[in-house]
Amino acid sequence: MNQFLDITVQAAINEAQVTLKRAQGIESTYPNVPGKSLWGSCVDYFDGIVFTLNMVLDHTLEQTPLDAQTWLSAGLSYINMCEKGFELINMANTILPTISTNLTELILNSLAISVVIRGGDTPDFVDLNYSNKHKLSNLAVENPDVVVALDGSGNFTSIQEAVDSAGSRRRGKKYVIYVKAGIYQEYVEIQHKVRNLKMFGDGINKTIITGNRHAGGDTLATPKAGDLKESATFKVYGRGFIARDITFQNTAGPDGGQALALLAGSDQSAFYRCSFEGYQDTLLTQDSKQFYKECQIYGTVDFIFGDARAVLQDCEIFLRKPLPGGGLVVTAHGRKYHNQTGGYSFQGCNITAADDLKPVIRQYKKAFLGRPWFAYARTVFIQSFLDDLVDPKGWLDSWGHNKTAYCGEYKNNGKGASTHKRVQWPNYQVITDPKIAEHFTVVHLISGNRWLPTTSVPYISGLEKL
């Protein structure tokens, strides 16, 4: 069966390379109007598909069936993001489906085979002897390979220059970047080939990476209209990325529309004591397995979104003051196909109003925990505090996915945690069985016991008291 999977994945890779060349040809001749930048991003997405699918064939990575399923799911997520860019600017496009349909079908075929190998959408094997908690080793005392400092006291004054220097290391070796306190006004990208990079700063609101690009709002006349990827202040794709004690910002403001502080497409990535600040679409968890611990996330609408398989543990989720008449929605999960692996789990988090919203909170409608972005979205809140700003219905259906999306709540508390008036969707569930809730913990949802100990980020594996 594994050999058959390799054959089908290779066929998908071949088609992805063909699709990539077609997209490159379209982008090179496309006029400089809304759409050209999107084609440029699609070129990057298709290149990412080739890279990610090749990981499935790289058996030196000691991959599990879940890994293969995750990476194939990521390939589909890239196609979805490419398509969504054009939809955001209401631009009818017939060329994209023409060049991407075969690729989508080939990846779906491979994904179906990977599901059979894994044994369906079931929890991973759990070692009952696992340790419940893991301590953090102080990255600050770990000798950094390079130091970034605005005052010139380090190796670089630019974070991107430090990231680019990682290419000179020995293959497979971790690379540690220390970013000293300061406001770094730059756009950073960590590409797929840059793996096992660790980056730590001096703390939230001390080491700040900031930008103000945006893809929404009144921008339809600009070349980058609708290009979510290009609005991101910080983009990371390389596997095994770890960040600690850093603030990621997008200061486009509430009238800027879609404006990303972070685009995270790194498998087995972990963020510890970081802050993500924006309004709409603050944090794009694009794909793969991700973990967030003791982080702060600020936004207004869909500010945690994407197709990742992510656990957010002990995080502070702050809803900010929106535009007049604007709405408030925490999540928009984007799992499009049933066999994909994505899902959100908020464990031990606090959902509250930010300081700018508190004094005027009665002027706005209540907030929703999420609205399913794609048909098979999965989002659960477990052991979390939900303040009274949460709407009694809990969830919102803006795209007609209420019959297939899964939304769950387990042992939450606070005035907004009452489930008596929640939505009556077929797959909305008030979880009472801890065995079901366990499916959405670190050990199951992201197979965290396999890789989180190497990150030195603390975590709780299951439903232990937080």
Nearest to 411 by CA among 391, 441, 369, 382: 382
User: Which amino acid makes up residue 238?
Assistant: G
Closest CA to 360 of 336, 394, 326: 326
Paired with 380 in beta bridges are: 345, 408
Q: What are phi and psi of 363, to 5 degrees?
A: -85, -5
Q: Is 302 a catalytic residue?
A: yes
Instruction: Please check whether residue 167 is in contact with residue 177, taking contact to mean a CB–CB distance below 8 angstroms.
Output: no
Q: How far are the Cα atoms of 127, 183, 353, 354, 365 from residue 320, in angstroms, in the given order?
A: 41, 22, 6, 5, 13
Which amino acid type is present at position 286?
Q
Query: What is the rounded distance in angstroms from the CA atom of residue 200 to the CA atom of residue 211?
Result: 19
What is the three-state SS of the chain?
CHHHHHHHHHHHHHHHHHHHHHHHHHHHHCCCCCCHHHHHHHHHHHHHHHHHHHHHHCHHHCCCHHHHHHHHHHHHHHHHHHHHHHHHCCCCCCHHHHHHHHHHHHHHHHHHHHHHHHCCCCCCCCCCCCCCECCCCCHHHCCCCEEECCCCCCCECCHHHHHHHHHHCCCCCCEEEEECCEEEECCEEECCCCCCEEEECCCCCCEEEEECCCCCCCCCCCCCCCCHHHHCCEEECCCCCEEECCEEEECCCHHHCECCCEEECCCCEEEECCEEECCECCEEECCCEEEEECCEEEECEEEEEECCEEEEECCEEEECCCCCCCCCEEEEECCCCCCCCCEEEEECCEEEECCCCHHHHHHCCCEEEECCCCCCCEEEEECCEECCCECCCCECCCCCCCCCCEEEEECCECCCCCCCCCCCCCCEEECCCHHHHHCCCHHHHCCHHHHHHHHCCCCECCCCCC
Could you say which of 124, 267, 281, 302 is catalytic? 302
Beta-carbon neighbour count of residue 68 at 10 Å? 27
Q: Which residues form the catalytic set?
A: 302
